[in-house]
Structure 1
């Protein structure tokens, strides 16, 4: 991106619900109350049958498009379809279990995403108790996962961030072609961030906060654990991962270390 883009009324938000009706209602109410100055359109994809959210008495201050899937599809495919053909300067991938904590993060996120060289802007994530979430991660090598999972070691660098709340310039989203739909669930955010980094753009953490509950279903459900393992194997076999091992770990890809605003 070579020129600054204004964040005013410039953002389209994609939210995917898997029967998260009450969470979606709360999120949309927050977006309407706090973020209408930035958000021009919200695409809500209902991956499972559920009721449509109720609009406030004054109506939604943004365009709300509700997509009802006849057959459920994966995380990346849902967001790709929702954001296909977007004309807004910025796109946002947003989880239904994100809360805004009484403040609007999107004006600052869009402003940061519009700076030259930025491929993606993201907030600090807190859990429901106000504790810092580990949303920033190292390249998930087998060794790094072992150190994290079994030795309890903290991350020492940030190569990717989870996709609970990401804001990208539309041109970047189009250039990297969104999520790789070969990942049905898990690791699609790793792959996306690595491709952004390898293309020479920075990931920038913005000093705003959101609350993210974080289900971590792969720690409790066998089916989700299977999906997680399959996605990791796919990632480790991918050219993107191979290039990231060579370049990102050496700190010479894109902007080198990940930027901070």
Structure 2
């Protein structure tokens, strides 16, 4: 099945987005980040966000509401035992009645005001798999959140030769908005990935379904801890997930699709 070429810096149709989005946030002891992010959502995004599903993957206190209370429904889910990234978001979004769902990392900051109205408007267009903002670091530099298919040779060029990405085949899941219909059609995240590569797999399955990955003209700050660069346990999980990805039918089909298209989904920095 042919995949759709993504549109970068998309101009969305003007549709009502009031109260149409459920946001899933998973905290692994990120209490301070979560508190700040929820207050930003309450201050900036209450016209779009109708519900926030907060999963506490480790024991921690619930966030304190602002003086006027939460302007959206805050659903707090507590895990008796830690679950994987995909499993947590799948559980949080399993019964979503809202037309759009969002996967959001706790270490994201809304530095340019509310990004969700435009993300939802873009996601409402036909053929959309997911929409996402440009991610920047604390110095305002673009993060490498848009990536080419992670082939062994591609990772060698990226990690060892420090060559920049030239294509957009997938985007990391720090801030993704999807039509609930698209989320349901692909079955959410593959829970066989405990940590790492679940966003690669999700994006590839969206593309195999003929749906587009679309960046909008909004920026968010993403702290991006990159634990796999510093901790052996995380590096091990990363390698296990990569091996699982490379052996998967989704990866094989996506490679064939991208070859048939003559490369990737799009060129970074252009349509």
Q: CA deviation at 1:256?
A: 5.4
The C-alpha deviation readout for 1:8-49, integer Å capped at 9, x for no partner, is 210000000000000000000000000001000000000000
Q: CA deviation at 1:6?
A: 3.4
Corresponding pairs, count? 258
Find the aligned partners of 1:112 and 1:98 in 2 and give their Cα distance: 20
Q: Match of 1:79?
A: 89
CA RMSD, 1 decimal:
1.8
2:169 matched to 1:169? no
Contact in 2 for aligned 1:204/1:258 (Cα 8 Å): no
Q: Match of 2:203?
A: 193
Contact in 1 for aligned 2:56/2:76 (Cα 8 Å): yes
2:270 matched to 1:245? no
Q: Match of 1:157?
A: 167
Q: CA deviation at 1:78?
A: 0.1
Find the aligned partners of 1:191 and 1:128 in 2 and give their Cα distance: 28
Give the 4+ runs in structure 1 shifted more than 3 A.
3-6, 255-261
Gaps of 5+ in 2: 1-12
TM-score (norm 1): 0.95
Contact in 1 for aligned 2:136/2:219 (Cα 8 Å): yes
2:70 matched to 1:39? no
Find the aligned partners of 1:252 and 1:102 in 2 and give their Cα distance: 35
| 3-state SS, counterpart of residue 259 of structure 2 | coil
Picking from 138, 150, 154, the partner of 1:144 is 154
TM-score (norm 2): 0.92
Picking from 118, 129, 133, the partner of 1:108 is 118
Q: Match of 2:226?
A: 216
Q: Match of 2:241?
A: 231
Q: Match of 2:193?
A: 183
| 1:45-124 equivalences in 2 (<5 Å) | 45-124=55-134
